[in-house]
Amino acid sequence: MAKASRYIGELNGLCASLPNPELLINTIVLQESKDSSAIENIVTTQDELYKAAAEESTASHAAKEVLSYREALYAGLEKMQAQKNLLLTNTMVEIVQIIKQNKAGIRNTPGTALKNAINGEVIYTPPCCEEVLREKLASLERFINNPEASPLDPLIKMAFIHYQFEAIHPFADGNGKTGRIVNALYLVQQELLTQPILYLSSYIVKYKTEYYQLLRNVTEKNNWHDWIMYMLTALTETAQLSTKKIRNMLSLKEEIEKKMKQVLGSSFSYDLLQLMFTLPYLKIELLEKKEIAHRQTASIWLKKLTEADILKPQKIGRTTYFVNYKLMDVLSAD
Ligand SMILES: Nc1ncnc2c1ncn2[C@@H]1O[C@H](COP(=O)(O)OP(=O)(O)O)[C@@H](O)[C@H]1O
Ligand SMILES: [Mg+2]
């Protein structure tokens, strides 16, 4: 627990020191969205995702779902902060609706069961239906929002909350993703993070069998210990990973800024540099849309940056993207 706290503290300190935190955090949040969706086989490639982030209208179904996850995370954060920093059932409902892009609410028909994907064996049958689920969520709300009721370290509490939310399984679908967003919001509520940059899902994707098994062992064997240890290890490792990624992005940004100044001289644009680190797949129209440059200037810049090997062109269909490929390398490293 001490180790996990220390690394989360380091990550949070680093984020607080960033002049423009949204910038680099946006990419980490997208990574979390991608991995959290991958846990249930919604698989997008890194490239596909960042292309979609630059131009949503042509995105694949999976990429759109990943973008919805990010949207849900930020909407949930806003709602929590608007409600005196309380993490309430209505926020959880809003989160799942944005993830699923529908109006589904708390389950009100029986029949939901968690099954083994291979042999169909029922692993867990959550409680039913709406009235019962709302009562259980109300208890969970009290556990989350009332520190006197349960004076535990927030990291341990987060592990309890995640199991409990998944065991209640309040929705017909999207419970895993909603529960993982709740984790991030909870750490913000507890002021362990000022931004929701919890990147837990990269660990869960890597150790997915254990994730499922340990949730199950809490129900069947009351084995809280191993579940909590799993979550603490996940917190430690992913906080370290995020810190490393942010540091690498920062030094890459410095390096690219220097090079860009040489290549573009007096027409160097800081806005362009920022955009390259928010959306690593650039295209001319995007620079126009963001009002960074007119078409002709944009095209000259991107060409010069390509010649200097800062960006790499990639033609997809009729569109040429200019990829900040070094950033893509930093993002996919682990
Ligand atoms: N034995 C279990 N008991 C409770 N929850 C579980 C169990 N096994 C898996 N889960 C949770 O259920 C989630 C899958 O439920 P689902 O509603 O399909 O969520 P999503 O669609 O977001 O993946 C998993 O990601 C995990 O969080
Ligand atoms: Mg599902």
> Residues 294, 298, 301, CA angle at the centre, nearest 5°?
145
Candidate from 113-117, 171-175, 228-232, 280-284 with smallest mean pLDDT: 113-117
User: DSSP character for 72?
Assistant: H
Candidate from 49-58, 210-219, 323-332 with smallest mean pLDDT: 49-58
Instruction: Tell me how far the alpha carbon of residue 59 lies from the centroid of ligand 1, in angstroms.
Output: 26
Q: Which atom of ligand 1 is nearest to the CA of 180?
A: 27
Class of domain 248-332: mainly alpha
pLDDT on residue 113: 92
User: Between 21-38 and 325-332, two packed helices, what is the crossing angle to 10 degrees?
Assistant: 50
Regarding the beta carbon of 174 and ligand 1, being less than 6 Å apart is answered yes
**pLDDT at 64 > cutoff 90:** yes
pLDDT on residue 117: 82
User: DSSP character for 116?
Assistant: -
pLDDT on residue 265: 97
Regarding the beta carbon of 76 and ligand 1, being less than 6 Å apart is answered no
**pLDDT at 23 > cutoff 80:** no
Q: What is the pLDDT of residues 227-272, one digit of tens each?
A: 999 999 999 999 999 999 999 999 999 999 999 999 999 999 999 9
Q: Which atom of ligand 1 is nearest to the CA of 204?
A: 25
Q: Which atom of ligand 1 is nearest to the CA of 166?
A: 5
Q: Average pLDDT over the chain, rounded to whole?
A: 95
Among the bound ligands, the one closest to the CA of 100: 1
Instruction: Tell me how far the alpha carbon of residue 39 lies from the centroid of ligand 1, in angstroms.
Output: 9
Q: Residue 128: is the preceding peptide bond cis (ω within 30°)?
A: no
Q: Let me know if the fold of 2-244 is the same as that of 248-332.
A: no
Instruction: Tell me how far the alpha carbon of residue 18 lies from the centroid of ligand 2, in angstroms.
Output: 36
Closest CA to 97 of 20, 23, 177, 21: 177
Q: Tell the residue nearest (CA) to atom 26 of ligand 1.
A: 176
**pLDDT at 88 > cutoff 80:** yes
Instruction: Tell me how far the alpha carbon of residue 284 lies from the centroid of ligand 1, in angstroms.
Output: 41
Q: What is the pLDDT of residues 204-223, one digit of tens each?
A: 999 999 999 999 999 999 99
Instruction: Tell me how far the alpha carbon of residue 211 lies from the centroid of ligand 1, in angstroms.
Output: 10
**pLDDT at 138 > cutoff 80:** yes
Q: What is the pTM of this model?
A: 0.96
Candidate from 44-58, 113-127, 265-279 with smallest mean pLDDT: 44-58
Query: Would you call 205 exposed, middle or buried from its count of C-beta atoms within 10 A (0-12, 13-18, 19+)?
Result: middle
Q: Tell the residue nearest (CA) to atom 21 of ligand 1.
A: 174
Q: Which atom of ligand 1 is nearest to the CA of 40?
A: 23
Domain chopping of the chain, boundaries: 2-244, 248-332
Pairwise pLDDT comparison (46 vs 175), residue with the higher score: 175
pLDDT on residue 274: 94
Instruction: Tell me how far the alpha carbon of residue 117 lies from the centroid of ligand 1, in angstroms.
Output: 12
Regarding the beta carbon of 167 and ligand 1, being less than 6 Å apart is answered yes
pLDDT on residue 193: 96
pLDDT on residue 43: 84
pLDDT on residue 96: 98
Topology classification of domain 2-244: Fic-like fold (1.10.3290)
Q: How many CB atoms lie within 10 A of CB 229?
A: 13
Q: Tell the residue nearest (CA) to atom 6 of ligand 1.
A: 166
Regarding the beta carbon of 205 and ligand 1, being less than 6 Å apart is answered no
pLDDT on residue 334: 82
Q: 322 has which bridge partners?
A: 282, 313
pLDDT on residue 93: 98
- Torsion angle, CA of 153/154/158/159, rounded to 10 degrees? -20
pLDDT on residue 273: 97
Instruction: Tell me how far the alpha carbon of residue 168 lies from the centroid of ligand 2, in angstroms.
Output: 14
Q: Tell the residue nearest (CA) to atom 27 of ligand 1.
A: 176
User: Between 130-145 and 89-100, two packed helices, what is the crossing angle to 10 degrees?
Assistant: 110
Strands 319-323 and 281-282: antiparallel
pLDDT on residue 19: 82
**pLDDT at 112 > cutoff 80:** yes
Q: 321 has which bridge partners?
A: 314
> Residues 324, 39, 323, CA angle at the centre, nearest 5°?
10
Region 104-126 average pLDDT: 92
Candidate from 131-135, 150-154, 315-319 with smallest mean pLDDT: 315-319
